Amino acid sequence: MFGNRDNYNQEDNTDLLVIEDDQEDELGLEVGEGQISLDLKNSKLDWFYGIKRKLNNVEAVVEAIPYWKSFVTVAALMSSIATVGLLAYFIVDLYPELPPEFPLIFSQDTNSWMLIDKEILPGVPIAMGIVLVLLLRLNSATYKFDRRLAQMVNLGIIIFNILSSIAFVQLVSLILVY
């Protein structure tokens, strides 16, 4: 049905199967030079499957890298995601109840809080997320030549995330109580 095994394309020295004209009509295929055109159907979800395939490839690469096999690295990543999520949740949930000016920075010169506008507050989790992503990226590059330094930076990120979450929650609760 698909041609004889004796009909290989000897000119190109390839292993392509040559289909004769009567077989082409029988199969309903148009044959180009050394090719069989297949009428593949494209679905509406091809873009989704492409993204899914790329994510699976990234996951396979990440699983193979020893940097991600460390508990401290995974804990730093998860604490970063949790901290940014917690900050974003509190800001979105409590935004209408917050005063127009928010004390975010303490000035030791004047021994008082420097007030920032309430509109700047949603940028805090975004800025913090960008800084944490850059730190994790820099840390993964550092891991290649100094693993101990990378582990210590990851521990520093975890401690920073815990302390900043506690500080922000206390600051928001202090403002809402008084």
Q: Enter the tokens of residue 160.
A: 């920073």
Phi, psi of 8, rounded to the nearest 5 degrees: -75, 155
* Residue range 58-63: mean pLDDT, rounded: 73
Phi, psi of 56, rounded to the nearest 5 degrees: -65, -40
Q: Does residue 18 surpass a pLDDT of 60?
A: no
Element (H, E) at 107: strand 101-107
Can you give the pLDDT at residue 67? 74
For the segment 104-123, what is each residue's pLDDT rounded down to a tens digit? 778 888 888 888 888 888 89
For the segment 138-166, what is each residue's pLDDT rounded down to a tens digit? 888 888 888 899 999 999 999 999 999 99
Can you give the pLDDT at residue 160? 94
Q: Does residue 84 surpass a pLDDT of 90?
A: yes
Between the alpha carbon of residue 31 and those of residues 9, 10, 90, the distances in Å are 13, 17, 63
Among 19-23, 37-41, 80-84, the minimum mean pLDDT is found in 19-23
Q: Looking at residue 8, what DSSP letter applies?
A: B
Can you give the pLDDT at residue 31? 55
Query: Which residues lie below 8 Å from residue 61, measured CB to CB, with a gap of 6+?
Result: none
Q: Confidence class of residue 131 from pLDDT cuts 50, 70 and 90? A: very high
Query: Which residues lie below 8 Å from residue 69, measured CB to CB, with a gap of 6+?
Result: none
pTM for the predicted model, two decimal places: 0.60
